[in-house]
Amino acid sequence: MATQLIQLTGVSKNYRKGRETVRVLDGISLGIDKGDFVGLMGPSGSGKTTLLNLLGGLDKPTEGLVEVDGRVISALSPGALAKWRSSNIGFIFQFYNLLPVLTAARNVALPLLLTSLPASRRKQHVNTALQLVGLTERASHYPRELSGGQEQRVAIARAIVSDPPILLCDEPTGDLDRSTADEIMDLLQRLNRDYGKTIVMVTHDPRAASFAHRVLHLDKGELGAPPEETPGAPGGTSP
Interface positions with another protein (CB under 8 A): 49-50, 53, 56, 58-59, 78-79, 82-83, 85-87, 91, 93, 95, 97, 99-102, 110-111, 113-114, 116, 158
Residue 77 Cβ vs another protein, minimum distance, rounded to whole Å? 11
CB atoms within 10 A of CB 63: 15
Residue 89 Cβ vs another protein, minimum distance, rounded to whole Å? 8
Contact 70, 4 (CB under 8 A): no
Residue 234 Cβ vs another protein, minimum distance, rounded to whole Å? 29
Separation between Cα atoms, residue 52 and residue 25, nearest integer Å: 11
What is the distance between the terminal CA atoms of the chain, rounded to a whole angstrom?
15
72 versus 114: smaller Cβ distance to another protein: 114
CA-to-CA dists, residue 15 to 53, 61, 115, 191, 215, angstroms: 14, 10, 34, 34, 26
The H or E element that residue 148 is part of is helix 148-160
Three-class SS state of 58: coil
Residue 54 Cβ vs another protein, minimum distance, rounded to whole Å? 10
49 versus 192: smaller Cβ distance to another protein: 49
Separation between Cα atoms, residue 233 and residue 231, nearest integer Å: 7
Residue 167 Cβ vs another protein, minimum distance, rounded to whole Å? 13
Q: Which residues pair with 68 in a beta bridge?
A: 6, 71
111 versus 236: smaller Cβ distance to another protein: 111
Contact 6, 198 (CB under 8 A): yes
Q: Any idea what the Cα angle at residue 220 is, between residues 219 and 225, rounded to 5°?
A: 25
The H or E element that residue 212 is part of is none
Residue 68 Cβ vs another protein, minimum distance, rounded to whole Å? 14
